[in-house]
Amino acid sequence: MLLKSQTIFSSVSNLKINSKSFLNPNFTFQFNPISSLKVVWKKDLNLDRAIENDKRYKLCARVVKEVLNEPGQVIPLRYLAKRRERLRLNVKVQTFINNNPGLFDTYHDRIRPKSDRVPFLRPSNRLRSFLEEEKRIYDENEDLVVSKLCKLLMMSRYKVISVDKLVHVKREFGLPNDFLVNLVPKYSNYFRLTGSPGEGQSFLELVEWNPEFAKSVIELRAEEESRLTGIRVRPNFSYKLPSGFSLRKEMREWVRDWLELDYISPYEDVSHLDQASREMEKRMVGVLHELLSLSLLKRVPVPILGKFTNDYRFSNAFSSAFTRHSGIFYISLKGGTETAVLREAYEGDKLIDKDPLLEIKDKFVELVEEGWRERAEMSRLRTERMKKDMEMVATRNEELSEQSCGEEF
């Protein structure tokens, strides 16, 4: 008899799972309709903090990307200022540049041959050094990037996804900016590009199915646990309700029975399943879990996941699964955007196991924070100079006052 992973039951003891149900083959679970199940959303301060901590770095990354995408990687300052709303900059562009020294160099040039010289921005030497580091990290982790791209295609209904969608999510999954130009042609045994990117609809198609990639994080975890314990472990979700969170009895019973369903791999063909079935709900949660596991930060904005509704056979109300399965996921409302977070990936507000590609983010954070430290040091020196100047003026005024008094007597 297969044994259920202890990580599931130890964290959902309040669900009161009846172990007899595993042993009695005649036992029939009574499921409530999925649509009738409601779970109250509860704020998770730690996971919200994890998103809030990245806010400033994300803003810097957006502005850097905007400049790097320009011809010659230079842009007139006033052109960038016109894009302030799209970039969601809450300060003037010049203020942003001043607040983040080290990202760009400012120089003057003409937009047209006979026009006046105006301020331009270009990547600083430090930013260019970071870009070289970024390339090195991608080169060292190329196999990981290839496996991620294969997995995204392997989970899809027809093993093909629109290039526009993949380009839109490349940041979330750590795909390099040039993956269509350099990576895809290099691995023609895995990928086929149809159409012309940027010139209408184009698609990336899976050419070869690699069985080594067709194992989810949950399946690999069960295999590892089986190897360590010598007992065959049944793959299933790690379910942990946050502190202070409780479910109504009806919902506890539904979750208990839902966890009893066989795990369905996100790489398994489910064309025979009814879209409204409880098995399809289990499979959909499996795909969402795998997508979040493949993402760099183990979290993805819900609107981005929604772009893949047809590709991954999600229901139109797929986002309700995040609150319905609150022991697996968390929905954060930080930044005015719903973001799906994988609970098991975090301890407090910190990631437990970091994706190797996150070294790129760490290097960028170092670059940005180096600029912040320089700005703080310059501000401190200015303050000290002003204080000394004021002391000198005060001393000079005192001397003049004493001199004036002496002359009067």
For residue 23, pLDDT over 60 is answered with no
What's the half-sphere exposure (Cβ side, CA atoms, 13 Å) at 23? 4
* Residue of 317 and 246 predicted with greater confidence: 317
User: Are 280 and 287 in contact, with CB atoms under 8 Å apart?
Assistant: no
Q: Cα separation of 167 and 163, whole Å?
A: 6
Which residues contact residue 238 at a Cβ distance below 8 angstroms, ignoring those fewer than 6 apart?
5, 7, 8, 11, 221, 328, 344
Report pLDDT digits (tens) over 136-168: 999 999 999 999 999 999 999 999 999 999 999
What is the pLDDT, as a whole number, of residue 277? 84
pTM of the model: 0.82
Looking only at the bridges linking them, the beta strands covering 3-4 and 233-234 are parallel
Q: Would you list the domain boundaries of the chain?
A: 3-30+215-351, 59-131, 141-210
Q: Which range (216-225, 231-240, 300-309) has the least confidence?
A: 231-240
pLDDT (mean) for 60-64? 93
CA distances from 349 to 239, 322, 343 (A): 18, 19, 10
Question: Across the strands, what pairs with 183?
Answer: none
What is the pLDDT, as a whole number, of residue 107? 94
What are φ and ψ of residue 231, in 5° steps? -120, 130
Report pLDDT digits (tens) over 329-353: 999 999 888 999 999 999 999 999 9
Report pLDDT digits (tens) over 252-298: 888 888 899 999 999 999 888 888 888 888 999 999 999 999 999 99
Per the listing, tokens 């940005």 go with: 368
* Residue of 40 and 153 predicted with greater confidence: 153
Q: Assign 17 a pLDDT band (cuts: 50, 70, 90).
A: very low
Per-residue tokens: 40:
């109250």
What is the pLDDT, as a whole number, of residue 364? 94
Cβ count within 10 A of residue 400: 10
At the topology level of CATH, where does 59-131 sit? Arc Repressor Mutant, subunit A (1.10.10)
What is the pLDDT, as a whole number, of residue 8? 36
Q: Quickly list DSSP for 187-228.
A: TTTTEEEES-TTSS--EEEE-S--TTT---HHHHHHHHHHHH
Q: Where are the beta strands (DSSP E) in 242-315?
A: 299-301
User: Are 205 and 159 in contact, with CB atoms under 8 Å apart?
Assistant: yes
Q: Where are the beta strands (DSSP E) in 276-406?
A: 299-301, 329-332, 339-342, 346-347, 350-351
What is the pLDDT, as a whole number, of residue 180? 93
What is the pLDDT, as a whole number, of residue 13? 37
Q: Cα separation of 150 and 209, whole Å?
A: 8
Nearest to 355 by CA among 298, 285, 277: 298
Report pLDDT digits (tens) over 235-262: 999 988 877 777 888 888 888 888 999 9
Report pLDDT digits (tens) over 82-123: 999 999 898 999 999 999 998 999 999 999 888 899 999 999
Q: Cα separation of 274 and 293, whole Å?
A: 26
Per-residue tokens: 365:
């954070």
For residue 328, pLDDT over 90 is answered with yes
For residue 69, pLDDT over 70 is answered with yes
